Amino acid sequence: MANKPITMSKLRKVLQLYLNGKSKKFISNYLNLSRNTVKKYLIELNALNLSIEQLNQLSDLELEKLFIEKPAVGQSSREMTLYKFFPYMEKELKKTGVTRMIIWQEYIAKHPDGFRKTQFNIRYNKWSKKVNPSMRMTHKAGDKLYVDYAGKTLEIINKETGEVTPIQFFVATLGSSQYTYAEASMSQKRDDFIHSVENALHYFGGVPQAIVPDNLKAAVTKSNRYEPTLNETFLDFAEHYQTTVLPARVYKPKDKSLVEGAVRILYTRIYSVIRDQVFYDLESLNQAIFKALEKHNTTNFSNRNYTRKMLFEEVEKKELMPLAQTRYQIKNHAFVTVMQNGHVHLSADKHYYSVPYQYIRKKVKILYCSSQVDIYYKYNRIALHKRDKAPYNYTTLTDHMATAHRHMTEWTPQRFINWGADIDDSVKIYITRVLEKKQHPEQAYKSCMGILSMVRKVGRPRLINACRRAQEYGIYNYKIIQRILDQNLDQIQDEPETNEPLPKHQNIRGKNYYQ
């Protein structure tokens, strides 16, 4: 889509690289962005005069307001003059020794109020529809890790049934040393893919500047030539390890030629080695793969007197960034609307978590892993909870609640049981059963409050009788107590039991008949 803004994570990377001294050409090639796009944002950066410290303090929302939402100023009259100059420029550039800088200096001498060099070149590129020639890939140490799956699968066999399960073959190769990692995994789905990439990083003992995957769904949710949409979990994984994701472009085989070459080699050096072996589980299959992989990495390059492992240890290993202190926990996400009671419902666990009451009825994003739940509104985290998988329960922070509702947090089961005991033991027993029956604590507390507060309306004797009557019915809620009191059923006296013998009658057989 034309004029579609880049993501905030990639924009931040553009600005950070530039402030760290990287050239526009390097940033363009490194992040797979057009030079025009890079120049556009760097012009804005220079106008704002931001330092690297100020940039790091900006949230994604603030960054978007500064660089994306800022309106462009049209200058059509100057452009018309410029476009009239371009035919002359095109002819002059064909002459030996003539450069764009020389032509621009001629232009600015004739038109002192004309465009500066950056905008001059941007508009000339658009006018001439110049197509950049394909460039040879130069791999720098510690720069990129290329990851992909082999087209041919492996297999494991169920010992009991003989069922054959196809197994995926994952390959990761560092660009400079071609040091390679490979493993078998059950699928190419997101969780398996991220787990394999993480295993590769730990195998290398460090993190490259960028990870280059193919356009598989586990990494890229929507392919695009210029700005693919990344899988949010994989992007979060990259942030955890402080690296960048640069998907290979669609229909651009040169972007992933290195890893595809590694796959072809591993077909020979791994597939052929294990072809006659039978594997009954993933662990034994991977043990065989790792053994063959070690031999692959310690075998000399063709026409070279060194191996991938030697090149990695001497050149590339020291250029890798350090690993994160902890392994990444897979995060899932969900978009929900905050309920009227100030909670969001995490459907995966059927559990409710509180958010500040100001966000009631707002659409929020939930990010959750095995240990915690983060809740975001736009780019800001508004709540953080420890994950609780108890269904139909509430996790509530007092600070999130409106002042009028905070007294509810002081309600406890024991408080209501003690209140019932002050009235009568039968009321205490009934309140205890109400608390046991209700699934939602808040719902149980409200029922107990309604029952116990009736003592002021109908008095102790009637409430005691109503609780006894409801207990006979085996029904434990507020409504049955209200119905008993409204219909005066608590005041009905039970008829006493009598032990009078049944009258004798010729049609009554008596107990001796059944002996």
User: What is d(CA 82, CA 87) in angstroms, rounded to the nearest whole number?
Assistant: 10
Q: What is the pLDDT of residue 144?
A: 86
Write down the pLDDT at residue 257. 62
Question: For the residues 363-386, what does the mean pLDDT come to?
Answer: 89
- Please name the residue that has the structure tokens 């307001």: 65
- Provide the pLDDT for residue 1: 40
pLDDT of residue 130: 36
Two tokens, residue 224: 């695009």
The gap from C-alpha 8 to its chain's centroid, in whole angstroms, comes to 15
- Alpha helix (H) residue ranges in 20-98: 24-30, 35-48, 52-57, 60-67, 76-92
What pLDDT, in 10s, does the model give residues 250-264? 545 454 566 677 777
Can you state the angle between helices 425-437 and 460-473, rounded to 10 degrees? 50
Q: Tokens 């004309």 appear where?
A: 114
Q: Could you report the per-residue pLDDT of 294-346, keeping only the tens digit for each?
A: 988 898 876 556 788 888 888 788 889 999 898 888 878 889 999 877 889 99
pLDDT confidence band for 379 (50 / 70 / 90): confident
The CA distance from 262 to 179, in Å, is 10
- What is the C-alpha separation between 397 and 353, in angstroms, rounded? 9
Q: What is the Cβ-side half-sphere exposure of residue 388, based on CA atoms within 13 angstroms? A: 15
pLDDT value of position 131: 29
Instruction: Calculate mean pLDDT across residues 368-394.
Output: 87
Q: What is the pLDDT of residue 285?
A: 92
SS3 487: coil
d(CA 376, CA 499): 72
Mean pLDDT of the chain: 79
Instruction: Name which of 300-314, 365-379, 384-398, 481-495 the model is least confident about.
Output: 300-314
Per residue in 280-291, pLDDT (tens digit) is 999 999 999 999
Angle (CA) 236-176-187 rounded to 5° is 45
Q: Is the pLDDT confidence value at 230 over 70?
A: no
Q: Quick check: 394 and 439 in contact, CB under 8 A?
A: no
DSSP-derived 3-state class of residue 316 = helix
Residues 182-219 pLDDT 10s: 999 998 888 888 899 999 999 999 999 888 887 666 55
Instruction: Considering only residues 468 and 409, tell me which one the structure prediction assigns the higher pLDDT.
Output: 468
Interior angle at CA 246, CA 243 and CA 247, nearest 5: 135
Cβ neighbour number for residue 496 with a 10 Å cutoff: 5
Tokens of 476: 């434990």
CA distances from 129 to 37, 126, 451 (A): 15, 5, 79
Q: What is the reported pLDDT for 221?
A: 56
What residue ranges define each of the domains in the chain, with the CATH number in brackets? 8-67 (1.10.10), 76-128 (no CATH), 144-319 (3.30.420.10), 332-404 (no CATH), 411-491 (no CATH)
> What's this model's pTM, rounded to 2 decimal places?
0.49
Predicted pLDDT of residue 127:
64
pLDDT for res 466: 92
- Which amino acid, residue 194? I
Amino acid at 143: D
